[in-house]
Structure 1
Amino acid sequence: MIIIVNLYAILAAVLFFFKKIRPEPFILGSFIWILMLLAVWYILPYTIYKRSIKTFTDKFIIQFTDEQILLENERGEAHWQWADFSKYMESPHFFHLYFNPKSFFLVPKEGLDDTNKHALRQLFQLHIHAGN
């Protein structure tokens, strides 16, 4: 959707520049583009964060063993067997552990030193198939 809106805005700007259209389509395209940016960058993250504020402010402890992953905080705990994950991927700030193509779990790298990151990579390679 954002690609279509961007293409429409660019096309409207070019046509407006060459005096092929009136200013209204250009203004409409710009308005839709600005609304979409506001929705994606500010409104959606704020509403999601506001609904789940406790989740985003909790402190978690995560433990990786040869049998499972254990996640706990003061309100409870959750654990997953390695077989529950279908693949993993790595981005600059997170390890993405996928249950299925639409559901995943993020492990932040923020508190890990290079040795622990390397150990986690080896554990993931041993128990989970790497993604593309």
Structure 2
Amino acid sequence: MQILFSYDKKLVIQALRYHFINRFEVRILMILVNVFAIFSAALFYFRKVSPLAFLLSSILWIAIMISFWYFLPNTVYKKASTFKDNFKMTFGEYRVRVENERGYTEWNWEKFISYLESPHFIHLYFDSKSFFLVPKAAIEKEGTLEDVRSLLREKIKSKK
């Protein structure tokens, strides 16, 4: 199977958000910050804390949410030149090959520890933090999305 693709910035930003939000430590942090925000709002309502303390906790909540929703994905997008290239990707029996005008790389299926399907991409994970995004639109254009899904299920045993 072979697909040709390039990346759309808005969709990549959304996929990066999806990646960050699905990280265990980020989910725990967001839950704790939200519980803290609710707790501080309740304490403010019952006049147990000053308005300044409530304001500071609200600013902390807003800052964390903005950093995970805007700052982190945009920073990763700007630093990675990968998202500005055009690619040809080949899914083979023993490996995956990715090519662009500067060269190519090949990964044996054993290099991937897991995969995750988000609304617009398939995330192929090398480890818990490193991954490669494959646009589902390019796969659907070739009419092979179900074939790629079954290949991933067969070749990559662990699914996130």
TM-score after normalising by structure 1: 0.83
The answer on 1:64 being equivalent to 2:91 is: yes
Structure having the larger proportion of residues in helix:
2
2-structure distance, mates of 1:111, 1:14: 49
Structure 2: distance between partners of 1:60 and 1:130: 26
Which residue in the other structure is 1:90 paired with?
A: 117
Residue number in structure 2 paired with 1:48:
76
Q: Which amino acid aligns with 2:82?
A: T
Distance 1:21 1:127, change over 3 A: closer
Alignment of 1:31-46 (within 5 A): 31-46=59-74
- Do structure 1's residue 3 and structure 2's residue 55 form an aligned pair? no
Q: Counterpart amino acid of 1:68?
A: R
In structure 1, what is the Cα distance between the partners aligned to 2:92 and 2:150?
Answer: 12
- Residue 85 to residue 49, structure 1, CA distance change in 2 (3 Å): closer
Which of residues 102, 110, 113 in structure 1 aligns to 2:137?
A: 110
In structure 1, the residue corresponding to 2:124 is in which secondary structure?
A: strand
Separation in 2 of the partners of 1:67 and 1:118? 18
Q: Distance in 1 between matches of 2:36 and 2:113?
A: 39
Question: What is aligned with 2:150?
Answer: 122
1:80-100: CA deviation from partner (whole Å, max 9, x where unpaired): 112222333433322232334
Number of aligned residue pairs: 131
| Aligned AA (2:52) | E
AA matched with 1:40: F
Alpha-carbon spacing, 1:41–1:26, altered in 2? closer, same or farther (3 Å): same
Between structure 1 and structure 2, the one with the greater Rg is 1
RMSD: 2.1
**Structure 2 CA distance for aligned equivalents of residues 103 and 85 of structure 1:** 10
Pick closer, same or farther for the CA change 1:116–1:80 going to 2, 3 Å: same
Q: Give unmatched runs, 5+ long, in structure 2.
A: 1-28
Letter of the 2:78 partner, please give it: K
Q: Is the 8 A contact 1:89 1:130 kept in 2?
A: no
Equivalents in 1 of 2:75, 2:47: separation in Å?
Answer: 41
1:25 pairs with 2:53: yes
TM-score by length of 2: 0.70
